[in-house]
Amino acid sequence: MKYFLLISTLVLMSCSSSKNTSTSSLDPDFKAKELYSKHCAECHANNRYGSMGPALLPDNLERIKKSDALSITLKGRQATQMPGFESQIKAEEAQLLIDYLYRPLSE
């Protein structure tokens, strides 16, 4: 009986952890949101409305091409406080982040 309870508990734990993994992998923005929280939110705020740095919303980013935004993310922007993140994130991750920033906020 003890072994049955132990095995049942382990099975339930593995099912619940795999469920969390699959849920996050279904959300295409999951990685981008994670990157944003880690690297951007401190200056641009969790809600992307801006703080020390400007708002990162599609309307604010209209004048910047996505390719330029990618370069700014990786290399930084001269004469501003925007640092480059090339040593911290891969170009593919930066592209995920840029694609996320150019989409409207979800309601």
- Render pLDDT for 37-93 as a digit per residue (tens, 0 to 9): 999 999 999 999 999 999 999 999 999 999 999 999 999 999 999 999 999 999 999
Q: Taking every pair of C-alpha atoms in the chain, what is the biggest distance, in angstroms?
A: 69
Residue 27's SS3 state is coil
Residue 28: which pLDDT band, with cuts at 50, 70 and 90? low
pLDDT at 3: 47
Whole-prediction pTM value? 0.73
The yes-or-no verdict on residue 20 having pLDDT over 60 is: no
Per residue in 2-12, pLDDT (tens digit) is 544 445 444 55
Residue 29: which pLDDT band, with cuts at 50, 70 and 90? confident
The CA distance from 92 to 10, in Å, is: 36
- Nearby residues of 59 by Cβ (< 8 Å), 6 or more positions away: none
